[in-house]
């Protein structure tokens, strides 16, 4: 299995880990404050605030970023693009996604947007490996 394929797995797991932070944080809330409710998780998410709300939003964005990344990797590999370059770009994407989550949690909107833009650019560059 290629490094890029492992990165696809990592990209799929990252949103789960991201929302896990919010869920773990709400388990420690005191009485009277909304705790994570596994029977009604969507309602729980509606009552989040602060970094937990941002973790939930980062999770959502992680799911939204997946189709472009997965398609880029699959198409570039099917076209027999330079595997070393595909692997490197996939690692860059994962690194950017981790930084994106950190920027989201720290409420650094401008930095987050720049990181998001670089992530999209890395996916487009992976796509371009299928034409070279």
CATH number of the structural domain spanning residue 55: 1.20.120.550
Asked if pLDDT for residue 85 goes beyond 70, the answer is yes
Neighbours of 88 (CB within 10 A): 16
Cβ proximity of 19 and 60 under 8 Å: no
Give the tokens for residue 41: 């998780």
State CA 22 to chain mean position distance: 15
Taking only Cα atoms into account, the Rg of the chain, rounded to an integer number of angstroms, comes to 17
**What is the number of structural domains in the chain?**
1
Asked if pLDDT for residue 30 goes beyond 90, the answer is no
Q: What is the mean pLDDT of residues 69-74?
A: 98
Confidence grade of residue 98 (pLDDT, cut at 50, 70, 90):
very high
Asked if pLDDT for residue 28 goes beyond 80, the answer is no
Give the tokens for residue 119: 């992530």
Q: What is the pTM of this model?
A: 0.90
Neighbours of 22 (CB within 10 A): 24
Query: Which domain, by its residues, includes 97?
Result: 3-128
Q: What is the mean pLDDT of residues 96-115?
A: 97
Largest Cα separation within the chain, whole Å, is 59
More confident residue, 56 or 29: 56
């Amino acid at each position: 299995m290629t490094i890029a394929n492992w990165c696809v797995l990592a990209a799929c797991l990252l949103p789960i880990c991201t929302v896990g932070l919010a869920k773990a944080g709400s388990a420690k809330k005191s009485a009277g404050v909304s705790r994570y409710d596994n029977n009604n998780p969507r309602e729980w998410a509606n009552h989040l605030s602060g970094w937990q709300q941002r973790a939930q939003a980062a999770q959502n964005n992680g799911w939204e970023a997946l189709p472009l990344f997965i398609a880029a990797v699959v198409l570039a590999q099917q076209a027999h693009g330079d595997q070393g370059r595909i692997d490197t770009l996939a690692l860059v994407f994962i690194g950017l996604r981790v930084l994106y989550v950190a920027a989201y949690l720290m409420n650094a909107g401008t930095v987050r947007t720049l990181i998001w833009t670089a992530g999209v650019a890395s996916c487009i560059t992976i796509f371009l490996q299928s034409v070279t």
